[in-house]
Amino acid sequence: MRIFSWVLAAALSAYACHLSVQHATPIDAALPFLAVILTVVAWASTPTVMLAVPLLIGGEMLFGDERVRLLWFGAVVAGALVYAFAANGTDETDGKSAEAAGPYRALYVAGAAILLLRWIPFPVESWIREGFLLAFCLAIVALLRSTPFALFVGVATALFTPAVPLRTLFFPMLILMLAAFVRRALPRLTVPALALVAVMVLFFPWSGIVARATPYFFRNARPATERHHINQALAASKELTIEVPERATALIVSGANVPRMVRGTVLGVLQCGPSHPSHSSYSSHRSPADCQPRPIVIGDASDWGYLRRENFYAARNPLPRDPAGRVRDYGYAAWIDGAGRVPLPRGARTIRVTADPRLPQGSSLQVEAFELER
C-alpha cells in the first residue's frame, strides 16, 4: 500500500510540473522528469525532499529571466540531493527512518545526480553507453563505501566522461579499478565533498559546459553587451581593415576549423589601421607602443565549435582567457562558442586584422564583432 502512495505522489508531482511549465527550454520541459527523480530520492531518504517539487514549480511561475530560473532549479535540486544524502534524522511522523535506506541512499542520490547531469535534454544520445556509464559510476560509489567523497567521485566521473567516442568509457573503468585499490584509504570529507557535488548539480541546466569548460563557471561571466557585427572569415594571409565604431571596447574573434591547435598558436595579428580620410587614426597623446601589432593566438580565441560534445574529445584548444562566446543549448548538450575578446588598441579609429599566413587550408580567423560599451 505504501509503495502505491509513492507512485501516486510521483504521478501527481510529475503532472503538476507538466501543468506548470511556462517556458520553452528543454530544462523547463524536463520538470516532470525532475519531479519523478526527486520523488524516488525522497522515497529512498526522507519525504521532506519532496518539498523541492513545489519549489521548482514556484521558480517556474515566478522567474521570467531564464538564467535566474534555471539557476533556481539547480539550487533547489542541489539542495534537495545534498539534504537527502546528509539528513541523518528520522521522520517518526511517517514511520520511516532516513537511516533505513542505509548505503543505498548514496546510490539513489548519485543516480539522481547523474541522470540530471547527463540525461537532459531528451532524447539521450546513446542509451546503451549512458547506461554503462551510470552503472560504472554507481559501482564506484558503492565500492568507495557510499561516503560523501564516494558520491563526489562517482558524480564527477559521470560528469567528466565524454562518452563520445566510446573509448572514453575507459575513464570510468579506470576510476573503478583505482577505487578497488584505495577504497579503505579514502577519507569521508563530508562538507567539501557535498559542496562540490552541490556545485556540479547547481549548474545542471548547463552541465555540458561544466564538463567541458569548467573554468567558465569560476570566472566573472561578463554579460553579453551590445555588439556591432562584422562576421568576416579571413583565410590565411587575408586582411581586413575596419573603422572602429564609437564605444567599441573589444574585438570578438574566433577560429574556424582550428580545434587541434594548441595554446599560443598564432591565428592572426591585430594592429592599428591607416588614417581615416576625415580623422587622424592616432590621437595626439597616444604612444607608439599602443599601435604595436598584437598577435591573436589560441587562448585569446578558440575554434568556434570545439566545445560541442562531438568535437570536444579531439580538440586541443583551451577556453579563451576572456570568453565572449554565447551559451548555447541546455543540459549535457550545452556549449559555448570559442569566441574571445581581444582588447582594441587605445584610441584607434581604424584597425587592421591579418590572418596568419601559416593557417592550414580550410581554416580561418573569424572576426565576429566589436563589443560596445554599455
Partner 1 sequence: MTAATLIVLFVLPLVMLRGRTLLTCWGTQLALTALAAILYLHVPIEARLGFITVAVLHVVVALLFIARGTKVQWSANRAAVIAALLYALAIPAMLRTPIDGDEPFYLLVTESIVHDFDLDLANQYATLENTASGRTDLEPQLGDPVGTNGEKYSRHEPFLPLVMVPGYLAGGLIGAIATIALFGVLLVRSTFLWFSEEGIEETTQRALFGFFALAPPILFYATRIWPEVPGAFCFVEAIRGLRDRRTQRWAPALLAMVLLKLRFALVAVMLAVRQGRRALAILPILIIPLLILQFATGSATSVHSWRELLPGAPVRYAIGFFGLLLDGMSGIAFQAPFYLLGIYAITRWKEMPEGFRVGCVAATLYLVTLLPRAEWHGGWAPPLRYIVVFLPVFALGAAKLWERVPRGVIAVIATWTMGLVIHGLTYPWRLFHIANGENPLGEWLSALYRADVSRLFPSYIRLNDAATIGGVVLVAGFVLFRFVRVPTHLTIAALSLAMALGLTYAKKPGATVHFEDAHVKHDGGELHPHVWFVQRFLQRGGWMTRDGDSMTFLARGGDHLLHYGTGTPAMIEVAGHAYQLPPTGPYTRAFRVHVDRNGMTTIRVLHGQIFFERMELERP
Evaluate whether 203 touches 334 at the Cβ level (below 8 Å): no
* Interacting residues of 19 by C-beta distance below 8 A, sequence separation 6+: none
Least separation in angstroms between residue 191's CB and partner 1 is 4
Residue with cell 566521473: 157
With respect to partner 1, which residue has the nearer C-beta, 20 or 146? 20
Evaluate whether 201 touches 116 at the Cβ level (below 8 Å): yes
Least separation in angstroms between residue 368's CB and partner 1 is 22
| Distances, alpha carbon 87 to alpha carbons 76, 79, 143, 342, in Å | 16, 11, 22, 48
Q: How far apart are CA 331 and CA 119, in angstroms?
A: 8
Least separation in angstroms between residue 40's CB and partner 1 is 11
Least separation in angstroms between residue 291's CB and partner 1 is 34
With respect to partner 1, which residue has the nearer C-beta, 54 or 295? 54
With respect to partner 1, which residue has the nearer C-beta, 186 or 195? 195
User: Which residues here bind partner 1, judged by CB under 8 A?
Assistant: 5-6, 8-10, 12-13, 15-20, 35, 39, 42-43, 46-48, 50-51, 53-55, 57-58, 61-62, 64-65, 67-68, 71, 75, 89, 91-94, 190-192, 194-195, 198-199, 202, 217-221, 223
With respect to partner 1, which residue has the nearer C-beta, 50 or 158? 50
Least separation in angstroms between residue 233's CB and partner 1 is 31
Concatenated DSSP letters of 41-82? HHHHS-GGGGGHHHHHHHHHHH--SHHHHHHHHHHHHHHHHH
By three-state DSSP, how is residue 239 classified?
Answer: strand
With respect to partner 1, which residue has the nearer C-beta, 15 or 170? 15
Least separation in angstroms between residue 38's CB and partner 1 is 10
With respect to partner 1, which residue has the nearer C-beta, 6 or 171? 6
| Sign of the CA dihedral running 174, 334, 14, 128 | negative
